[in-house]
Structure 1
Amino acid sequence: MTILFLGACGQSALLEESDEKESLNVVTTFYPVFEFASQVVGDYANVTVILEAGQDSHHYEPSPKDLAAIYDADVFIYSSEYMETWVPAVLDNLLESDVKIIEASQGIPFYEEDSNEEEEDHDHEGHSHIVDPHIWLDPVYASQMVETISEEMQVVDEEHSKMYEENAGIYQSELKELDRQFQEAFEGAASRTFVVQHAAFGYLARRYDLNQVSVSSLTSEQEISPAKLAEIGTFINENQIQTIYYQDSASAKVAETLAKETDTNLEVLYTIEGVTLEEQDEGIDYLHLMQSNIEALKTTIK
């Protein structure tokens, strides 16, 4: 009986060890990638995120602990080198590893914004260009990111490929409905211009034929000159703009100043770069915040 008991314990331990090995460890960079990956893998993998809500996704530098988590992962998923500018250096160190790397933005066409800011790169004939990385704010591109993650996960974990495909399809149906809601909300609107503090909503504007006018460019920490503020203030008054939008994850100081000077309302637009655990527990997620963006934009686009 003792031998049988020990044998059973040993078998149980082996089964537990086997189960642990079967659960893939997926590390993602920031919230949108985490959300999309989680929707795809369901309960068939352990998904974690490196950047917490409130951390600057654009200028983040990974800590030794974060690097260790990436190197120990089975799968590492990021959006793009334009958003997570620190990722290319990490990828160089992963070349000889067994970590599967997934770039969720594969196949999505990025666009550049003209800028006169001295700190930007790619200077050409007196102008500089910076790539807009905020592709997940377009529901159609978000669906494409989900599709890429699903396809790559099916290669990594063939045993659960059918479930990954089905999970992706279910979530993509919700994203398709979100796209329909955006189209319906702004269809036939006569006023299609909205003013934002930070130019993070270019893909959303392009998708739904809207005109984004921004105080600062894609560089959210850009210093705004008095001349630029006066220019935007004049535009707001001449075009009878009623609302100025500020980014949820950045200081609203500039938007507040403009709103006071032009007697306009303030509204938040979510870039959804981070969602706290408490907010997630309350049911606040990508879909919820994008629907909040629809309602906020309705005060201007009508």
Structure 2
Amino acid sequence: MKRFIIFLFALLIFVSCSQQSEKSEFTVYTSFYPIQEFTKWIIPEAKVYNLIPQGVDPHHFEPSLKDIQKLYKANMIIYLGNTDIDRWIDKIRDELNQKGVKVVRLQDYISLQKYSSGDEIDPHVWLDPLKVLEIIKVIKDKAQEITQKKDEYEKNFLIYSDKLKKLDTDYRQTLSNCQLKDVIVTHEFLNYLSQKYGFKSHFIVHDPEQELSLKRIKELKDFIKKNSIEYIISEPEGDRIAKALAEETGAKTMKFNTFHQISQQDYFQTMNENLKVLKTALKCK
């Protein structure tokens, strides 16, 4: 009997501790991979889950009922806003807030630009280091509102703030003295970078799934020849299109990591590799 009482007492302590641990666990859902990574920088102790599965094109992701149900158990949800990647969260944002979930819509705090045609917002904001700096500041500020680790989050923010500013400086210095001012890319993903660092990107197709028309091939063929362009920059989804144009023009292809899928490299390694690609394509000294 005595042993049973001791066992029961130990069991109650275990259950109590488990409940406290479960309650204290900080759970965050992010709409796609880059935001998941940035959140981990600031809130490393959190369980951060990405809503878009690996290998799924974020532009065409449709959440299941199970995906949506997960959100109601989160402490925080972070998403971009009214983009083709995650605008579906807008529809349930108010209800999530009412349930006590901290919903962070980044578009409400940072400016986003539109694609070259139409009113659709370009989501590729994470390719601009200083935009990422704005994003992690929002994440830090909002996390500080609901936890007690204000100093820790501030410290993490300052560490990555310095790294992002250094990355921005590297881009500015490297791309400030180039022979060319134009690059050819497979689809429209370089708007933020090109605008920030003073070059112009010309996309083959707006969406990677579009077919390359004969008219567009001729336009780009003439443009490549006129401007002495030697390289076509391709993200993984655009490899087929890049090769098709390369065969017509004699240009070479180079891979650019858009960092929207899980990568073996971290953000800074990826962006430094991308800088080498741009340096070569723009013939920078």
TM-score (norm 1): 0.87
Counterpart selection for 1:153 from 136, 143, 153: 143
2:229 is aligned to 241
1:23-59 Cα shifts (integer Å, max 9, x gaps):
111111111010001111012x211111123211112
Offset of 1:180 from its aligned partner?
A: 1.4
Aligned length: 280
Offset of 1:251 from its aligned partner?
A: 3.5
Q: Separation in 2 of the partners of 1:263 and 1:154?
A: 54
More helix by share: 2
Alignment of 1:60-79 (within 5 A): 60-79=61-80
1:34-87 Cα shifts (integer Å, max 9, x gaps):
0001111012x2111111232111121101221121122111111222142322
Q: Separation in 2 of the partners of 1:77 and 1:130?
A: 20
Structure 1 position 265 matched with structure 2 position 252: yes
Query: 5+ residue gaps in structure 1?
Result: 116-127
1:186 is aligned to 175
1:124 is aligned to none
Structure 1 position 285 matched with structure 2 position 266: yes
User: Residue type of the partner of 1:205?
Assistant: S
Query: Is contact 2:130–2:165 with CA below 8 Å preserved after alignment?
Result: yes
Offset of 1:5 from its aligned partner?
A: 5.7
TM-score (norm 2): 0.91
1:262-301 Cα shifts (integer Å, max 9, x gaps):
111100112111115xx3xxxx122221111001111122
Q: Separation in 2 of the partners of 1:50 and 1:113?
A: 24
Name whichever of 9-18 and 234-243 sits farther off: 9-18
Name whichever of 159-168 and 144-153 sits farther off: 159-168
Regions of 4+ moved over 6 Å? none
Counterpart selection for 2:204 from 209, 215, 231: 215
SS at match of 2:104: strand
Distance 1:226 1:189, change over 3 A: same
Q: Separation in 2 of the partners of 1:59 and 1:86?
A: 11
Distance 1:114 1:180, change over 3 A: closer
User: Residue type of the partner of 1:72?
Assistant: K
Query: 5+ residue gaps in structure 2?
Result: none
Query: Is contact 1:104–1:146 with CA below 8 Å preserved after alignment?
Result: no
